[in-house]
A and B are shown apart, each in its own frame.
Chain A
Amino acid sequence: MTNGWVDMKNTDMMLIMGGNPAENHPCGFKWAIEAKRTRSAKMISVDPRFTRTSSVADMFCQIRAGTDIAFLGGLINYAIENNRIAKEYLVNYTNAAFVIKSDFKLPADTDGVFSGFDETKFSYDKTTWNYDAAGGPGHNAAVAGTPPGLPGSVDYDLTLQNPNCVFQLLKKHYSRYTPEIIERITGIPKEQFLKAAELYTSIRKDGDMKKAGTIIYAVGWTHHSFGTQIIRTAAMLQLLLGNVGRAGGGVNALRGHSNIQGATDMAGLFDTLPGYLKVPTPGDASFDAWMKRATPTASKPAPWDSWNYYGNTSKFTVSLMKAFYGDAATKQNDWAFDYLPKVDRDYSWTNLWNDMYNGTVKGMLAFGMNGVAIGPDSNKNIDALKKAEWLVVGEIYQDETSEFWKSPRVIAQGDMKQIQTTVYRLPCAGFAEKDGSFTNSARWLLWKNAAVPTPGDCRLDQAIVAQIFLKVRDLYKKEGGKFPDPILNLTWAYTTPQSPALSEVLKELNGKALADLEDPATKVQIKAGQQLPGFAWLKDDGTTACGNWIYSGSFTEAGNQTARRDPSDPSNMGVHPGWGWSWPANRRVLYNRASCDVEGKPWDPSRKQIWWNEGSGKWVGNDVPDFKVDSKPKDHMGPFIMNPEGVGRIFAPLAAFADGPFPEFYEPIESPIDNLFHAGRTHNPVVTKFKDADDKFGTVKEGFNVVCTTFRLTEHYHYWTKNNPMNVQLVPEPFIEMAAEMADELGIRGGEHVKISSARGDYIAKAMVTKRIKSMMIDGKKTYQIGIPFHWGYRGIAEDEGKTARTLVNALSHTAVDPNAHTPEFKGFLVKVEKV
């Protein structure tokens, strides 16, 4: 989230799409309701189903799953056509005025792809996706031997009239997204779309900047083969309307789990290191080469300023290596650069299972992660585990992954005894038995305390991992082995190495001085061994260690900041600066410089976040300025300090995205129609698909003619609460939501069993026949959508009582992967529906 949960109360307009916060984040959704109650804010719900969010929204549009870019592109078109844009914001805080290289081509002109598409490799040469250098071409000549970079000085046109400026390209690109074509693609009638567009953009009526609108989404957007681009379209719309950085504005991802924000920050993912640092690749010959690639340089119009905060990447990285390897990481050994694995390709979720399926991955450790149920194509994942040598599962309940060898699929195939996988299942600790910090969706780190001891023989998760690691390290010490250095040299100097105290780990994350430090400007000194006050102190000379630069400031000399419990909110804007600690630097709303006009005055004086104080020559306010505090407004430093441009990217240049600098609408991998914009390019051209026996795709011709989406219920949490008698009482069995009209046609009555089959698997559950889903006219053809909640599997209260078919909904979904976030597409696929 750019903003935060409580901040939603400041909004005037909400577009909730690709998410269902009333059901999945009810306690956060209270602040959306609060905005309705206290500000008479309006709420638009766009969803394939009429959800409980829709029930309290002021407007509902039923959209075909996976067509969000068409809808949002249409909103951009509407805003531009009707001049409902934030002109001053757009010119000064985004790259709308930047001029793009003249050889850049839009999909409308290039057969449905952007310029540079390589038909054989299914990838783009992104050279043309770049700004024109000031002074004309030639000033942007690439240095021989290095990939093209952004020009240091960008050509621009503040009148936005240059036909090659970002704004004009944007206008041209989305002028194709007319209400008529949106109706044919999304199934939302033209009048309804126009009503929604009018309502959402009404906050910028007559150029008024006082109001703020927010866009709220969740995995309804990410679970697509173009998920990143949906979110980008939303971000662009918000930049166009001047909503980013504002109280009650922003682009707000509602993360679905207590600490996946933290897990992402901490880089529990193949392609990053803690704090969103890029992993080294085989192409990085040395630490310096890696840093050169990973560190951006400022790229902006000459009179403007850009802080380009990622210019400090080497400081963050060296400090990380010092935290990992301590004294073993020295300037002489390139900060132990060789210790880091070099990542040469995509090792993400679906590849991981594919690699196991194909024999590369032999062992798996799954802690609190029900792999076969959570990802798409469960059957393939079960088949993959059959081929693994060993599997270690750390869990608190019996889960589908640890019992894959007893799954109905295996029983049906009768090959349990042939499965050679050794499975260890280790009893872990529940949340109430552990302390530590969670990072919520609003980036707030909140410390929790342990209330009860672990039951039975359960052990704390950190103790289990520590014990495994220390035993491996002992084996390498005793026996030697392949490249033992990183294992032997990893810092593990916790007071109780067998079960590290998490507060010590948080201290390591925050970082400390390894030598006496002094700030040359303020003369503030920090002694060696002291906790750092924040990431501004990090150094790339080995004098600081920090496990995660964005968490620097969370555990300072003043103590554990994440455990702070001051509930006060002096500004009454939901900032709560003394509650827990928020990254970065305890800022609650990101890019908050953009909440002020160019002079530094808040757009809305009644919702002041930060402002320029001429007297003190500083940015001050109710929140921590997300900005260089002493940068004068007249210096025109961009508010988006993490971008080399300093401004928001309406056009995302070069390698920022794999599939285009502007989002373009493509159909989901399985869709009922061809792409109406360009029939030859139905799908995202750079999407990853696999070609194994379990990777099948269905078409309408084969009878897969119903669009299916999966969803969560408010009564259940993932595959977890099926073990909880209270939640099982609330919703005892799985079901399939379908339109009453469709049920009538198929002769299905509510409560009767229905079989859903995709090209990959099938699923049987009772029908929930409802008026909340209606048939849709997709390109003139009547099309139905169904929705399936995914909370059941083969182990749980209802499952053990034989009340469900004991199969996984994700047996239906497929594994086409978004090329940017590597998130698979498991919403909006095609199925058949039959009465059982």
Chain B
Amino acid sequence: MQATRRDFLKFTTIGGAAAAIFGFDLQPAYAQLRVLKIARASETRSTCPYCAVGCGTIIYTIGDKAKNVTPQVVHVEGDPDHPTNRGTLCPKGASLEQDILNDRRLLKPQVRRPGGTQWEDISWDDALNEIAARIKKTRDDSFIEKDAKGVTVNRLESISWIGGCTDTNEFNYLVVKAMRALGVVHLENQARV
């Protein structure tokens, strides 16, 4: 067991200085280390969201996934089984914990009205209803069913979608489906630039 400073003091006062002079030995053969913070954490295998090496990551969360626990990230580390990164991570991947726990995250829907100088809060329902109404109005106002030559083109040039680099394949597919169904042709992605 570890002798604490208090034990040491107690011992000194009780045992007296004389004993101490001759060097009593309270140091144990072992020294206490910090406990392994991930010892009982839950592991979730994920993929780093940054570059296209696609490193495997392990996200460690406290709690054993019992019902009464909201998992809290305590550490992110490379997945040693992953053939590409074999446990390694770059300085961005290694700091993913700060991305997950970032206090700069956006947490509620907001709107900036025409002429506005600041963000206003808006409920999800209101936001989605307004957006849907705007999409419909813009589409109905400018949908091109036939081009100048009378060819059916069913094209919508007035709405654009620009997609990000960290969207999953499945999300991208849903977007392509939905956007092409609307007739969107201004459909672009980080992949272009």
Q: Do chains A and B touch in the complex (CB under 8 A)?
A: yes
**B83–A574 CB distance below 8 A:** yes
Identify the closest chain B residue to A490 (Cβ): B181
**A263–B170 CB distance below 8 A:** no
Give Cα A505–Cα B90 distance, bound, in whole angstroms.
31
**Chain A contacts for B170, CB-based, 8 A:** 436-437, 462, 500, 502, 505-506, 509
Interface flags for A591-603 (1: CB within 8 Å of B; 0: not) read 0000000000000
Give Cα A417–Cα B117 distance, bound, in whole angstroms.
7
**B174–A5 CB distance below 8 A:** no
Q: Which of A376, A458, A475 contacts B133 (CB 8 A)?
A: A475
Identify the closest chain A residue to B117 (Cβ): A416
Q: Which of B82, B99, B188 contacts A268 (CB 8 A)?
A: B188
**B186–A824 CB distance below 8 A:** no
Give Cα A502–Cα B143 distance, bound, in whole angstroms.
31
Q: Which of A265, A425, A448 contacts B110 (CB 8 A)?
A: A425
Q: Which of A341, A574, A579 contacts B153 (CB 8 A)?
A: A341
**B115–A418 CB distance below 8 A:** yes
- Given the known interface contacts A374-B193, A717-B50, the answer about A456 and B172 at a Cβ–Cβ threshold of 8 Å is no
- Scoring B98, B129, B136 by chain A CB atoms within 10 A of each residue's CB, the highest score goes to B136
**A362–B122 CB distance below 8 A:** no
**B181–A723 CB distance below 8 A:** no
**Chain B contacts for A453, CB-based, 8 A:** 70-71
Min C-beta distance of B70 to chain A, whole Å: 7
Number of interface residues of B (CB under 8 A): 115
Give Cα A511–Cα B107 distance, bound, in whole angstroms.
36
**A482–B189 CB distance below 8 A:** no
Identify the closest chain A residue to B73 (Cβ): A452
Q: Which of A339, A374, A437 contacts B169 (CB 8 A)?
A: A437
**A264–B164 CB distance below 8 A:** no
A-B pairs with lowest CB-CB distance, top 9: A368-B164, A456-B107, A436-B168, A440-B54, A257-B165, A471-B132, A268-B189, A431-B49, A451-B44
Q: Is B17 an interface residue (CB 8 A)?
A: no
**B142–A362 CB distance below 8 A:** yes
**Chain B contacts for A390, CB-based, 8 A:** 131, 134, 138
**B104–A258 CB distance below 8 A:** no
- Given the known interface contacts A25-B51, A258-B165, A364-B159, the answer about A341 and B183 at a Cβ–Cβ threshold of 8 Å is yes
**A369–B160 CB distance below 8 A:** no
Q: Is A423 an interface residue (CB 8 A)?
A: yes
Interface flags for A426-467 (1: CB within 8 Å of B; 0: not) read 111011101111111110111011111101111101101111
Interface flags for A363-377 (1: CB within 8 Å of B; 0: not) read 111111101001110
Q: Is B26 an interface residue (CB 8 A)?
A: no
**A266–B84 CB distance below 8 A:** no
**Chain A contacts for B98, CB-based, 8 A:** 724-727
Give Cα A693–Cα B42 distance, bound, in whole angstroms.
56
Min C-beta distance of B13 to chain A, whole Å: 46
Q: Which of A389, A420, A467, A479 contacts B128 (CB 8 A)?
A: A467
Give Cα A261–Cα B93 distance, bound, in whole angstroms.
19
Min C-beta distance of A102 to chain B, whole Å: 37
Q: Is A487 an interface residue (CB 8 A)?
A: yes
- Interchain Cβ contacts under 8 Å between A and B, 20 examples: A30-B86, A256-B165, A259-B165, A259-B166, A261-B191, A270-B186, A341-B155, A342-B147, A343-B155, A349-B188, A367-B161, A368-B163, A422-B111, A440-B54, A448-B46, A468-B128, A509-B170, A723-B104, A726-B95, A797-B104
Give Cα A261–Cα B190 distance, bound, in whole angstroms.
10
Give Cα A162–Cα B104 distance, bound, in whole angstroms.
66
Question: Can you add 11 more A-B contacts, CB < 8 Å, to A471-B128, A723-B104?
Answer: A258-B52, A262-B167, A282-B151, A427-B105, A448-B45, A451-B61, A472-B136, A505-B170, A574-B83, A721-B95, A724-B98
Stretch from A392-400, A628-636, A696-704 forming part of the interface with B: A392-400
Q: Is B92 an interface residue (CB 8 A)?
A: yes
Min C-beta distance of A684 to chain B, whole Å: 18
**B168–A269 CB distance below 8 A:** no
Stretch from A40-48, A180-188, A352-360 forming part of the interface with B: A352-360
**Chain B contacts for A464, CB-based, 8 A:** 128
Min C-beta distance of B76 to chain A, whole Å: 8
Q: Interface extent on A, as a size class?
A: 35 or more
Within 8 A of B (CB), among A11-46: 24-28, 30
- Given the known interface contacts A268-B187, A343-B185, the answer about A422 and B95 at a Cβ–Cβ threshold of 8 Å is no
Main secondary structure of the interface of B (DSSP, over half): mixed
- Scoring B98, B107, B169 by chain A CB atoms within 10 A of each residue's CB, the highest score goes to B169
- Given the known interface contacts A344-B153, A438-B169, the answer about A451 and B132 at a Cβ–Cβ threshold of 8 Å is no
Q: Is A87 an interface residue (CB 8 A)?
A: no
**A490–B84 CB distance below 8 A:** no
**B151–A342 CB distance below 8 A:** yes
**A259–B169 CB distance below 8 A:** yes
- Given the known interface contacts A266-B172, A475-B133, the answer about A422 and B114 at a Cβ–Cβ threshold of 8 Å is yes
**Chain A contacts for B48, CB-based, 8 A:** 258, 431
Identify the closest chain A residue to B146 (Cβ): A282
**A432–B114 CB distance below 8 A:** no
Q: Is A649 an interface residue (CB 8 A)?
A: no
**Chain B contacts for A569, CB-based, 8 A:** 83
Q: Which of B50, B72, B108, B128 contacts A258 (CB 8 A)?
A: B50
Give Cα A267–Cα B175 distance, bound, in whole angstroms.
10
- Scoring B90, B139, B154, B189 by chain A CB atoms within 10 A of each residue's CB, the highest score goes to B189
Min C-beta distance of A316 to chain B, whole Å: 15
**Chain B contacts for A259, CB-based, 8 A:** 52, 165-169, 172
Identify the closest chain B residue to A257 (Cβ): B165
Min C-beta distance of A755 to chain B, whole Å: 25
Min C-beta distance of A342 to chain B, whole Å: 4
**A548–B173 CB distance below 8 A:** yes
Q: Is A122 an interface residue (CB 8 A)?
A: no
- Given the known interface contacts A444-B54, A445-B169, A472-B135, the answer about A823 and B193 at a Cβ–Cβ threshold of 8 Å is yes
Q: Which of B112, B122, B185 contacts A270 (CB 8 A)?
A: B185
Min C-beta distance of B29 to chain A, whole Å: 37
Min C-beta distance of A735 to chain B, whole Å: 17
- Given the known interface contacts A269-B191, A724-B99, the answer about A714 and B160 at a Cβ–Cβ threshold of 8 Å is no
Interface flags for A400-422 (1: CB within 8 Å of B; 0: not) read 00000100000000001111111
**Chain A contacts for B109, CB-based, 8 A:** 424-427, 457
**B85–A27 CB distance below 8 A:** yes
**Chain B contacts for A466, CB-based, 8 A:** 174
Q: Is B19 an interface residue (CB 8 A)?
A: no
**Chain A contacts for B191, CB-based, 8 A:** 260-261, 263-264, 268-269
Give Cα A264–Cα B110 distance, bound, in whole angstroms.
30
Q: Is B1 an interface residue (CB 8 A)?
A: no
Q: Is A104 an interface residue (CB 8 A)?
A: no
Q: Is B40 an interface residue (CB 8 A)?
A: no
Identify the closest chain B residue to A398 (Cβ): B106
**B190–A257 CB distance below 8 A:** yes
Q: Which of A366, A395, A437, A440 contacts B84 (CB 8 A)?
A: A440
**Chain B contacts for A440, CB-based, 8 A:** 52-54, 84
**A481–B189 CB distance below 8 A:** no
Min C-beta distance of B156 to chain A, whole Å: 7
Q: Which of B113, B134, B190 contacts A369 (CB 8 A)?
A: B190
**A347–B52 CB distance below 8 A:** no
- Given the known interface contacts A451-B46, A567-B81, the answer about A483 and B159 at a Cβ–Cβ threshold of 8 Å is no
Give Cα A266–Cα B170 distance, bound, in whole angstroms.
9
- Scoring B59, B61, B149 by chain A CB atoms within 10 A of each residue's CB, the highest score goes to B59
Give Cα A771–Cα B116 distance, bound, in whole angstroms.
48
**B47–A430 CB distance below 8 A:** no
**B162–A369 CB distance below 8 A:** yes
- Given the known interface contacts A259-B169, A475-B132, the answer about A417 and B115 at a Cβ–Cβ threshold of 8 Å is yes
Q: Which of A257, A348, A430, A567 contacts B52 (CB 8 A)?
A: A257
**A266–B83 CB distance below 8 A:** no
- Given the known interface contacts A324-B177, A451-B73, the answer about A425 and B111 at a Cβ–Cβ threshold of 8 Å is yes
Give Cα A457–Cα B123 distance, bound, in whole angstroms.
10
**Chain B contacts for A352, CB-based, 8 A:** 160, 162, 186, 188
**Chain A contacts for B142, CB-based, 8 A:** 362
Interface flags for A549-586 (1: CB within 8 Å of B; 0: not) read 00100000000000001010100001010010000000
